[in-house]
């Protein structure tokens, strides 16, 4: 039996460093908003590096870049992808790792003269972050039928610049026929963006799916009044009611296994230290992998609001403003990634993704799996985002091993 093959850690690291220089920020991070000048530079460089690796590059109508390595047979491709765009002052690895890790998989196959029965396609998805043009994951969402191309084209950034015009200007408006696929599977390598792997002391993890999310907007109408002249017993303080709601939401999150529950946005009126708050608006976020549990959390919120209304003489109105269904990955793909993990020499810890990814939509198109890499402090969307070279290589080795199996290396 031969020594197991590994990806080239130094080459991967050099590749990540090369791309991190495009849009580099003084704080050590990257600003590379979708279809900005920096994004164009990174895209142009990716196409060059793809071609050098022997991939056939094509651009589709959404600006997605696909680099194809043919298989020995014409069957559906194994797609490996992620995104090169970042948020403002984001990190070096969020997205870039999945694209450049996929490129490293191809380079490693080339190094060893390996063919695969099925084709391999390396994809850079357009506008994963949604930082410049909302919503996030638009291009993969279109692949899944969640949006139409026209919806994407008409999106404008905060300066009023239209997405379609930027796509044309940078030369990234291609043909619909050039979209990735047809696919036999989709694999995405990504930093965890959470602290679970760090807490477990493990370099990589096997993702079981992307959690579902419900955002509920809660409007609390109380009675504004002078703080000094209104006795405690005669108040209808909307912020004090909100405080109880926030505490109850936190308790729900703590007591429901696998759930998180957060109030991240809140505003109040009149927001004057001398006036009892008369109106509060806040958004409650629930995430859970199981749809029934997620819906039960939203129902519990309604009951909490009813109780607080009765207790405090306020009126809470709840409007669901966003629902994202849980996207579990198929057990067969998850098992396959777990096997690849163990073959590469790492314990296969399973976890759910609490953040959205293009994989969430690709799961509607073909069997999908994800590999997470340990992220220091769980930080992401931050210039301080960091994963060690060893961990980045570990994740890429898992991606490599999984690809060998699915694409049927010869």
Give the residues lining the site for a copy of itself (CB under 8 A).
192-196, 199, 211, 213, 215, 225-234, 237, 239-240, 242-244, 246-247, 250, 253-254, 259-268, 271-277, 283, 285, 287, 353-356, 378-381
> Quick check: bond before 270 cis, omega within 30?
yes
93: helix, strand or coil: coil
- CA angle 32/36/38 to nearest 5° reads 50
Quote the least distance from Cβ 239 to a copy of itself, whole Å.
6
Quote the least distance from Cβ 278 to a copy of itself, whole Å.
10
For 78, the token pair is: 């194994």
Residue among 19 and 215 whose Cβ is closer to a copy of itself = 215
Residue among 285 and 307 whose Cβ is closer to a copy of itself = 285
Question: 310, exposed or middle or buried, with CB in 10 Å at 0-12, 13-18, 19+?
Answer: exposed
User: Sheet containing 315-324: which strands, arranged edge to edge?
Assistant: 260-269, 279-288, 212-221, 315-324
Quote the least distance from Cβ 215 to a copy of itself, whole Å.
6
Residue among 185 and 263 whose Cβ is closer to a copy of itself = 263
Question: 267, exposed or middle or buried, with CB in 10 Å at 0-12, 13-18, 19+?
Answer: exposed
Quote the least distance from Cβ 375 to a copy of itself, whole Å.
9
Residue among 79 and 206 whose Cβ is closer to a copy of itself = 206
Quote the least distance from Cβ 98 to a copy of itself, whole Å.
16
Q: How many CB atoms lie within 10 A of CB 210?
A: 26
Do residues 121 and 181 lie in contact, with contact meaning Cβ atoms separated by under 8 Å? Answer: yes
Residue among 184 and 375 whose Cβ is closer to a copy of itself = 375
CA gap 59, 334 in Å, rounded = 30
Quote the least distance from Cβ 398 to a copy of itself, whole Å.
19
Residue among 166 and 391 whose Cβ is closer to a copy of itself = 391
Residue among 68 and 235 whose Cβ is closer to a copy of itself = 235
Quote the least distance from Cβ 356 to a copy of itself, whole Å.
8
Of 276, 282, 269, 299, nearest in space to 242 by CA = 282
Give me the numbers of helices (H) and strands (E) for the chain, helices first please: 12, 15
Residue among 114 and 384 whose Cβ is closer to a copy of itself = 384
Do residues 349 and 186 lie in contact, with contact meaning Cβ atoms separated by under 8 Å? Answer: no
Residue among 144 and 275 whose Cβ is closer to a copy of itself = 275
Q: How many CB atoms lie within 10 A of CB 317?
A: 12
183: Cβ contacts below 8 Å, ≥ 6 apart: 76, 77, 78, 79, 121, 362, 365, 366
Quote the least distance from Cβ 195 to a copy of itself, whole Å.
5
Quote the least distance from Cβ 199 to a copy of itself, whole Å.
7
């Amino acid at each position: 039996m031969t020594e197991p093959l590994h990806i080239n850690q130094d080459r991967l690291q050099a590749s990540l460093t090369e791309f991190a220089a495009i849009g580099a920020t003084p704080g050590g991070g990257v600003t590379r908003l979708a279809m900005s000048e920096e994004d164009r530079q990174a895209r142009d460089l990716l196409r060059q590096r793809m071609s050098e690796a022997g991939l056939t590059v094509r651009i589709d109508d959404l600006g997605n870049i696909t680099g194809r390595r043919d298989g020995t047979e014409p069957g559906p491709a194994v797609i490996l992808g992620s995104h090169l765009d970042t948020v403002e002052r984001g990190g070096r690895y969020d997205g870039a790792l999945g694209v450049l890790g996929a490129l490293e998989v191809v380079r490693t196959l080339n190094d060893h003269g390996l063919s695969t029965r099925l084709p391999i396609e390396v994809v850079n998805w357009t506008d994963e972050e949604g930082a410049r043009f909302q919503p996030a994951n638009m291009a993969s969402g279109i692949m899944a039928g969640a949006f139409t191309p026209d919806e994407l084209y008409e999106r404008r950034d905060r300066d009023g610049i239209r997405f379609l015009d930027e796509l044309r200007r940078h030369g990234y408006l291609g043909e619909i026929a050039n979209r990735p696929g047809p696919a036999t599977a989709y694999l995405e390598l990504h930093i965890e963006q959470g602290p679970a792997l760090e807490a477990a002391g493990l370099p990589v993890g096997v993702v079981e799916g992307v959690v579902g999310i419900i955002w509920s907007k809660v409007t609390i109408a109380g009675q504004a009044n002078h703080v000094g002249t209104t006795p405690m017993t005669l108040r209808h303080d909307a912020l004090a009611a909100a405080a109880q709601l926030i505490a109850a939401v936190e308790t729900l999150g703590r007591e429901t296994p696998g759930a998180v529950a957060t109030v991240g946005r809140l505003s109040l009126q009149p927001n004057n230290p001398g006036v009892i708050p008369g109106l509060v608006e806040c958004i409650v976020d629930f995430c859970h992998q199981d749809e029934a549990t997620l819906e039960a959390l939203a129902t519990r919120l309604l009951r909490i609001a009813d109780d607080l209304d009765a207790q405090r003489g306020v009126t809470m109105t709840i409007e669901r403003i966003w629902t994202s269904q849980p996207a579990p990955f198929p057990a067969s793909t998850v098992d396959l990634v777990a096997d690849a993990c163990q073959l590469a020499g790492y314990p296969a810890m399973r976890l759910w993704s609490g953040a959205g990814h293009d994989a969430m939509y690709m799961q509607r198109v073909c069997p999908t799996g994800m590999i997470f890499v340990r992220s220091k402090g769980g930080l992401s969307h931050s210039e301080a985002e960091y994963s060690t070279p060893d961990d980045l290589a570990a994740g890429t080795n898992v991606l490599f091993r999984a690809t060998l199996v699915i694409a049927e290396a010869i």
